[in-house]
Amino acid sequence: MGNVIDEETGQESTCMFCNSSDDCPHLVAVIDRTFAECNGGELYKAIATIRGLLSDTLLGMIEKAEDPDGDRVNYELAAIFREAIENYDPAHPDDIYIDEGMFLEWLV
Ligand SMILES: [Zn+2]
């Protein structure tokens, strides 16, 4: 988990399963909320795929003119969806804006 410091203890984070301070198979994701970045972990390997699936889902919702506050999505997804609608440009229909900070908060 290199360079990850627990803000509450000031200590380097260690895995609760194997006590490793390095990346290990138990590490789900290293997410820097300040800079809205995912920098490691098993989820890091799949994050582009997850973002792509979310982008496809949002595009389908935009095309169907779904209500972002409808029952189908949770609060975080509704916020992402509203941002995607506000930034949607029909001239570039495949470019779905996904706010990285909101996306990572949703993943968390
Ligand atoms: Zn571990």
Query: Tens-of-pLDDT digits for all 108 residues of the chain?
Result: 556 677 788 888 889 999 998 889 999 988 888 899 998 899 998 999 999 999 998 899 888 888 777 666 678 888 899 999 999 998 998 899 999 999 999 888
Q: Is 37 helix (H, G, I), strand (E, B) or coil?
A: strand
**Which of the 8 DSSP states describes residue 97?**
-
Ligand 1 centre and the CA of 81: distance in Å?
Answer: 35
Ligand 1 centre and the CA of 87: distance in Å?
Answer: 40
**Could you list which residues have their CB under 5 Å from ion ligand 1?**
15, 17-18, 20, 24, 26
